[in-house]
Structures are given as structure tokens and as C-alpha cells.
């Protein structure tokens, strides 16, 4: 039987925090991510649990056989030049004279990783943009054009049918995330890696992705090793995550130092499961189209606000509305706009009412079937930034 180890490395004496983490690990165990680990912890005495919490250090780490710690590098302590040099050397050393594939979505994290990988491997890095039909309007073409200007060739891989088929009939948020994960990693990247003979996938996982997944809040689509899944065994390749010690504010600093233009390093975050994370209930081609249109309106309207992130969410429930004097049992769109530094906590931006009214007007006019528009005013926590 496999033996997984788990360590909680918290701040001295923070017993309550440790217990919270243990509860989260047990929750993961229930989902079969961490069977052996959680059993070992459950078997431990209270004293062991306290002891787990008295080691000083930053975060939870789980890796086969050995304790694994991810040490956070905050934006304040980051030396971007040194960080870039170290990561470039690491990538070169691990990949050797082989090749790697790089998953580029055009978000801040994956764009930064693409530049790092490009610096380390040059043409031995194959950057691909997976068109999963879940991206924003015009995104595939835009990302290719942005990177062409930076001297990086990006290939678009059409996987639209595969993703929509995997999402068909799924309404549970975690199952939806899992369907996206499996399609990305097992099917699409599994195939690309085999075709190319690469053994590595370079991707932009950051620390916030890891700790929300490990804590059982949301299964971020790109987190494996830290919850006990060995990508080599599961998918047939190794995943390299050069940004895993950073949070979003630090990634932006690295992105800028690597020569990304503000249009890329200042881009608002966009989740890996893309618009599937913004459709509550089943993510069909039609419902994705609806949220994509609403997203374009919201992003255009809020681009100048300086907010951390903003989005449109399509609800599952319908409500009675009226159009042209007739009843219309229509759809509801929720607008979210967040102020945040690093996505760990967030508060809704205090947008002028006129701006909200103007967005609502455009959505009701231009997005077929929508009869209700709301604005979220709950902070994270207890809300989260994405609705799914």
C-alpha cells in the first residue's frame, strides 16, 4: 500500500489552526484524495496534533514519503531578478535536453510561466492554448497575438467538443471542476505530451490555488501533488510549478520583470475552469454563450475601476419577468466585482449605482433570455470570488 505523509507546519502554539487543517485533511480523505494520510492523523493523539502545530514555518505540505514544505515568498520580500534566475536554472536542470509543454491560458500566472519557460528552454518549450469553448470572447486569437509580439509562438489546440462532452449533465460544482481537470490533464495534455515525447508540463499554479484546495474549500483544477496525486502516475508526465511559492501580487512583479506588457501582467485573474466556474448548474454550450456575452459587457464596463477582479455569473434558478407585455420566465445574471490584494480575502467594490444600472441595462438588452441582474455584496469569506 502507498504511504503518504502529511505535515502541518503552522505558527508556534496555534493549536486551533492545526485542528482546522486536520479537519480539512480528513475532508479530503473522505473524497479519497488522502486516505492513508488522514488515517495516520486520525490515529494520532491530541498531543501529536499539538506537536504538529508547534513547528514553525509557513504551510501544509504533502508528498509521498517525505515532508514537503512550500515556503511562501511574499511580494515584499521577493527579489524578482534572483527569483527568475533560480527558476530558469531549475527548469533547465530538470528538463535537461528534453522538451516541455506549457499550458497558456493568457492569465497572469500562465503568461508569467510561459515567459519563464521560454527563457529557460527557448524552442524546446511548446506553448499551447487549449480552446475549450469556456474562454472569453476573442480570447484564443488575442492571446496568440499578445505572445507573437513577445516572440513566443503559441499553438491553439481545439478541444471544444471534448470539454463540452465532459461537462454534459454535471451540476455539482466539485464534479464540474473534476471534469475540467480530467479533460485537461488526462485527455488533452496526456495526448499532447505523448505526441511530442515530452515528459514535462509547465504550469502556473500559485500558492492560493494550493491552500484553498488543501483546505478543502475548492478543488482548484491545477493542484495535484500537494493533495497526494502523483501526476506522473496519474497522467504520465511531471508537472513543474515555478510560481508555487508566490501569490498573485508577487506573480505580477515577476511577470513585469520578464517583460510582459501591463495588458498581461495587470490582467484580472481568470480561473482555470474558466466560464464553467461562472455558470451555476450545467455548463452547456448555450449557457456558456450567455455568460460569455454578459462577461464581455461587465469587463468592458469595469475595466477602468482598478478592481482586483470582476465577472458575470449565470444562475441556475429562473425568475418571472416580462418583456413586450408578455410573461418571460427568464434567467438571472449576477455581477461580482472584488477589491482584494491576493484573493485570500476580498470585499465587493463600492461601485456607483449609475455604473451598475448601465451594466444591467446592457445585459438585459444584449443577452437573450436574461430578465434579472443582481450585484453581489457579500465579502470573501464567507463568499468566494468565483461562484462555483
Decide if 60 contacts 214 (C-beta within 8 A): yes
Question: Residue 205 in contact with residue 243, Cβ under 8 Å?
Answer: yes
CB-nearer residue toward ligand XMP: 255 or 330:
255
Q: Is 252 in the site for ligand XMP (CB under 6 A)?
A: no
| Gap between the Cα atoms of 265 and 190, Å rounded | 29
Of 60-68, 148-156, 219-227, 234-242, the window that binds ligand XMP (rule: CB under 6 A) is: 219-227
Distance CA 208, CA 377 (A): 22
State the virtual CA torsion across 259, 260, 266, 269 in degrees, nearest 10.
Answer: -130
Under the binding rule (CB under 6 A), the answer on residue 162 touching ligand XMP is no
Q: Which of 273, 292, 294, 335 binds ligand XMP (CB under 6 A)?
A: 273
- Residue 134 phi/psi, 5° resolution? -115, 10
According to CB under 6 A, which residues from 363 to 382 bind ligand XMP?
Answer: 380
By CB under 6 A, residue 384 contacts ligand XMP: yes
Considering only residues 179-218, where is the footprint of ligand XMP by CB under 6 A? 208-209, 212, 218
Residues 109-128 that bind ligand XMP (CB under 6 A): none
DSSP label at 67?
A: -
Binding residues for ligand XMP, rule CB under 6 A, total 18
d(CA 258, CA 30): 42
- 386 in contact with ligand XMP (CB under 6 A): yes
The answer to the question of residue 255 lying near ligand XMP (CB under 6 A) is no
Minimum Å gap between C-beta 381 and ligand XMP is 9
Distance between alpha carbon 61 and the CA centroid of its chain, in Å?
A: 19
C-alpha to C-alpha distances, 95 to 120, 126, 199, 237, nearest whole angstrom = 9, 13, 8, 12
Single out the residue of 221, 278, 315, 336 in contact with ligand XMP (rule: CB under 6 A): 221
> Cα separation of 324 and 365, whole Å?
12
Among 111, 114, 309, 332, binds ligand XMP (CB under 6 A): 309
> Can you tell me the distance from the alpha carbon of 317 to that of 215, in angstroms, rounded to the nearest whole number?
29
> Per-residue x/- mask for ligand XMP, residues 310 to 349, rule CB under 6 A?
---------------------------------x------
Residues that bind ligand XMP (CB under 6 A): 208-209, 212, 218, 220-222, 269, 271-273, 277, 309, 343, 380, 384-386
Amino acid at each position: 500500500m502507498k504511504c503518504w505523509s502529511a505535515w502541518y507546519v503552522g505558527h508556534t502554539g496555534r493549536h486551533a489552526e492545526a485542528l482546522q487543517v486536520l479537519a480539512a485533511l480528513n475532508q479530503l480523505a473522505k473524497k479519497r484524495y488522502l486516505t492513508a494520510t488522514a488515517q495516520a492523523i486520525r490515529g494520532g493523539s491530541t498531543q501529536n496534533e499539538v506537536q504538529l502545530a508547534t513547528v514553525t514555518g509557513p504551510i501544509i505540505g504533502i508528498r509521498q514519503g517525505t515532508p514537503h514544505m512550500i515556503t511562501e515568498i511574499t511580494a515584499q520580500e521577493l527579489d524578482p531578478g534572483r527569483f527568475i534566475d533560480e527558476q530558469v536554472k531549475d527548469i533547465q536542470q530538470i528538463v535537461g535536453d528534453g522538451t516541455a509543454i506549457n499550458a497558456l491560458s493568457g492569465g497572469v500566472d500562465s503568461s508569467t510561466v510561459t515567459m519563464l519557460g521560454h527563457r529557460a528552454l527557448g524552442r524546446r518549450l511548446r506553448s499551447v492554448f487549449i480552446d475549450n469553448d469556456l474562454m472569453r470572447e476573442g480570447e484564443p486569437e488575442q492571446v496568440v497575438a499578445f505572445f507573437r509580439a513577445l516572440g513566443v509562438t503559441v499553438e491553439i489546440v481545439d478541444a471544444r467538443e471534448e470539454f463540452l462532452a465532459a461537462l454534459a449533465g454535471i451540476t455539482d460544482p466539485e464534479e464540474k471542476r473534476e471534469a475540467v481537470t480530467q479533460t485537461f490533464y488526462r485527455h488533452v495534455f496526456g495526448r499532447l505530451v505523448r505526441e511530442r515525447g515530452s515528459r514535462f508540463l509547465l504550469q502556473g499554479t500559485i500558492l492560493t490555488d494550493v491552500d484553498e484546495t488543501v483546505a478543502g474549500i475548492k478543488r482548484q483544477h491545477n493542484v495535484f501533488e500537494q493533495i497526494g496525486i502523483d501526476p506522473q502516475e496519474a497522467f504520465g508526465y511531471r508537472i513543474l510549478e515555478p510560481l508555487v511559492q508566490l501569490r498573485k501580487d508577487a506573480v505580477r512583479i515577476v511577470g513585469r520583470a520578464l517583460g510582459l506588457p501591463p495588458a498581461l501582467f495587470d490582467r484580472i485573474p481568470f480561473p482555470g475552469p474558466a466560464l464553467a466556474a461562472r455558470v451555476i448548474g450545467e455548463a452547456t454550450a448555450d449557457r456558456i454563450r450567455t455568460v460569455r456575452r454578459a462577461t464581455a459587457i461587465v469587463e468592458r464596463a469595469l475595466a477602468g475601476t482598478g478592481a482586483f477582479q470582476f465577472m458575470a455569473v449565470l444562475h441556475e434558478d429562473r425568475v418571472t419577468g416580462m418583456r413586450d407585455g408578455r410573461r418571460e420566465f427568464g434567467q438571472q445574471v449576477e455581477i461580482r466585482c472584488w477589491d482584494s490584494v491576493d484573493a485570500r480575502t476580498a470585499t465587493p467594490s463600492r461601485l456607483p449605482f449609475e455604473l451598475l444600472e448601465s451594466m444591467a441595462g446592457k445585459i438585459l438588452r444584449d443577452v437573450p433570455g436574461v430578465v434579472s441582474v443582481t450585484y453581489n455584496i457579500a465579502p470573501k469569506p464567507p463568499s468566494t470570488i468565483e461562484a462555483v
